[in-house]
Structure 1
């Protein structure tokens, strides 16, 4: 690929990253606003509906994010093809991703239809809450194919640095989500109020509308037509290449989200109000995560393009610039979380008991977010080099071993209460079990970030020796 066509050839790397990251950020915030709307609106329906949505969302996110990670193997694959000028191969990779997304949809949808297996981790759950969780997950199982198919379009747009069109679709979907939420959650025009189940049905309708808009976009926009996107027969060699990269990536995504999902299921043992407060904090952390994720995704796609163009120096500059931007963004986000915590909680709930507990949990948010952000950029940069298995091993060790298992052991397991003095110091007034889970999850993220950066340094040294 010539210098003129290479996205990072002339502009400063940080400026190129920001130019690609801001539409990804807006798209990501638009997507996470779905969850914010669900939490805020269902929270005004009833405490039982809020708990049901909290538990159901945790289950769905566990399934969806793992499968989305597999589909996102398209990003480095298509980006390296694009960087090398292999446009036809990039279009063929998208078609193979469609088949993969359909297979994963069938597998993931089946997992969502058996909520009792998941809810067994939460101890005693009221029958009416359990029924709401089941209905919510049925709606999301039907939404899953459209969500994963849209992710193939999202991955392609990100890989070729054309993210504004996807941003427009995501932003436009917010209005439809708000409209259908109002209708299905609270009832009207002949429909009864459906609470948490209504939120799931609204997501189902909007996801299929987004897929239709995405398919129209790739048929009519010049940048996508240039790739000659085509849905050919599934080819085992291409599927193996996707799975070889995608399965470790999906595993990494799954490990990252399992902390939230299993934390929600375990913390549900502390009761209705603690579970609702946990959902507010988890939702806020997810919303904050969109900034480092967007910067990391832009950094990874531009780095992968440079790798495909056989420009290791540019790839290095992109990676290091991305790390600096993510660190700066995490510090600024932390300052906002500290200054605005009371206003944030008021926006989420009218329940006094839930709000009081949420404020105690939010004390960990700035420090957790910084750890999360640095872990994020470390993982994404390695994926740009098609390195996914080693990060998965590192993340399993840190996030699962130290974070999740350690949090359960010290929060609800045999050593429950062992960190009581630490939790009282770092999160005064917070429930000990919930606070322990969050502190250990933060420690796991910090360890994972350090390990990932150490491996990235190894990659850079190898690139330097081979240059």
Structure 2
């Protein structure tokens, strides 16, 4: 990553960082997709068990991993401020914090897993698969959280292509392990959905060892000497990591858990509506990888420029990212509108379900347009280390405005289940407008601070 002087150079650097992040996110999305798909080929009960386990694991994983994303702006600021000697300490404290969080989750899971599953109306086989799928995953939580910290460090240097290669290499490993352990190949027993959990845990260990090896042996990472010494735990540094990371993690948790809540409400409308909603949501999540990747790229670039006190450059990157997100969303939105019927047939051959998916995807067009504005703004604000307001607005947008409005539209109007999507679209739009104002405020504040320091 380097200082840029022209808009053309900034667009090129933004694009260079964004594309590998996008490929990485799509690869990670595909890993979950293959878990579900391959387990579904094995058994409906095992698919249900994995689905139940995932419904607990995904919000927790994304929320807590989001806390560790704070390492990215912390390191980006240090590099921008030319304080590279402080980077190893911050990264290792992030690793320590990640290990502590992972162990905490494992201990909590030991006490609450059985009561949670026993409290659900599940068949014995489904409950068994869900339980041991989650237990299997737990053996990979520590390396997964460590990898999230190491990835944040690598990305903060602008070397997003490295994490792309690591993640892409993990995809065939995960698929191969799934095949062996789910279906019992090469002499291994048939484990079904439980095998998918074991495969994921092994994959987490492998990608973590690969990341450690790269950081320890390859330039420019070797220059930072991350693993040359191991300082003691610094709770002051942990305070910085968590003060930035907790609002980020909570924002992500709020955004992911809202869809679980909507799915529960959808149960009033029947099985076909739930299936169509889940299919449309799955494809919308796939498209969301684009603005999410722009958001992550902006956190890196804005953090780098803000740390170097180049506020004009940081502001320009923000606008380029938001503008790029809008342009890409117009393209994907148009394609989604045109081909939504074809997309629906990818998920089902039931004509009633296909019709419902097509209607949900029409709302998905407007959903992703709002996301294309909101996500990049969130990324830019994280680059400025401004995270608390982002969390508050995510809470208000989804839970105070989106879900209640959706419930009202779904129950007292003829919109039915589509009312929930319209409510979330409204919440997203309001969140985008308020956070736009916040971004302008933060940027002006940065300029005022810089002027006062020069005076």
TM-score normalised to the size of structure 1? Answer: 0.87
After the TM superposition, which parts of structure 1 deviate over 6 Å for at least 4 consecutive aligned residues?
A: 350-353
Q: What is the aligned residue count? A: 446
**Residue number in structure 2 paired with 1:385:** 384
Residues 450/52 of structure 1: CA separation in 2 closer, same or farther (3 Å cut): farther
**Residue number in structure 1 paired with 2:72:** 75
**Residue number in structure 2 paired with 1:300:** 299
**Residue number in structure 2 paired with 1:427:** none
Shift in Å, 1:279:
3.5
Q: Give the whole-Å Cα distance in 1 for the aligned partners of 2:84 and 2:382.
A: 21
Q: Give the whole-Å Cα distance in 2 for the aligned partners of 1:403 and 1:441.
A: 4
Shift in Å, 1:342:
4.2
Q: Give the whole-Å Cα distance in 2 for the aligned partners of 1:338 and 1:391.
A: 30
1:168 equivalent to 2:165? Answer yes
**Residue number in structure 2 paired with 1:319:** 318
For 2:95, which of 93, 98, 102 is the aligned residue? 98
Q: Give the whole-Å Cα distance in 1 for the aligned partners of 2:87 and 2:334.
A: 41
Q: Give the whole-Å Cα distance in 1 for the aligned partners of 2:116 and 2:91.
A: 33
CA RMSD, 1 decimal = 2.6
1:16 equivalent to 2:10? Answer no
Residues 244/56 of structure 1: CA separation in 2 closer, same or farther (3 Å cut): same
Is contact 1:54–1:275 with CA below 8 Å preserved after alignment?
no
For 2:428, which of 435, 445, 464 is the aligned residue? 445
Which ranges of structure 2 fall in alignment gaps of 5 or more residues? none
Is contact 1:78–1:159 with CA below 8 Å preserved after alignment?
yes
Q: Give the whole-Å Cα distance in 2 for the aligned partners of 1:340 and 1:198.
A: 36
Is contact 1:341–1:362 with CA below 8 Å preserved after alignment?
yes
Q: Give the whole-Å Cα distance in 2 for the aligned partners of 1:401 and 1:315.
A: 32
Shift in Å, 1:226:
1.7
**Residue number in structure 1 paired with 2:27:** 30
For 1:410, which of 405, 408, 411 is the aligned residue? 408
Is contact 2:398–2:424 with CA below 8 Å preserved after alignment?
yes
Q: Deviations over 1:248-275 (max 9, x none)?
A: 1111111111112333444456565544
Residues 41/443 of structure 1: CA separation in 2 closer, same or farther (3 Å cut): farther
Q: Give the whole-Å Cα distance in 2 for the aligned partners of 1:349 and 1:45.
A: 18
For 1:136, which of 133, 142, 146 is the aligned residue? 133
Instruction: Give 1:35-184 correspondences, 5 Å limit.
Output: 35-112=32-109, 114-115=112-113, 124-184=121-181
Q: Deviations over 1:173-199 (max 9, x none)?
A: 111122122223333334454443332
Residues 442/194 of structure 1: CA separation in 2 closer, same or farther (3 Å cut): farther
Is contact 2:318–2:377 with CA below 8 Å preserved after alignment?
no
Is contact 1:61–1:261 with CA below 8 Å preserved after alignment?
no
Q: Give the whole-Å Cα distance in 1 for the aligned partners of 2:277 and 2:41.
A: 16
Q: Give the whole-Å Cα distance in 2 for the aligned partners of 1:273 and 1:134.
A: 27
Shift in Å, 1:360:
4.0
**Residue number in structure 2 paired with 1:455:** 438
TM-score normalised to the size of structure 2? Answer: 0.90
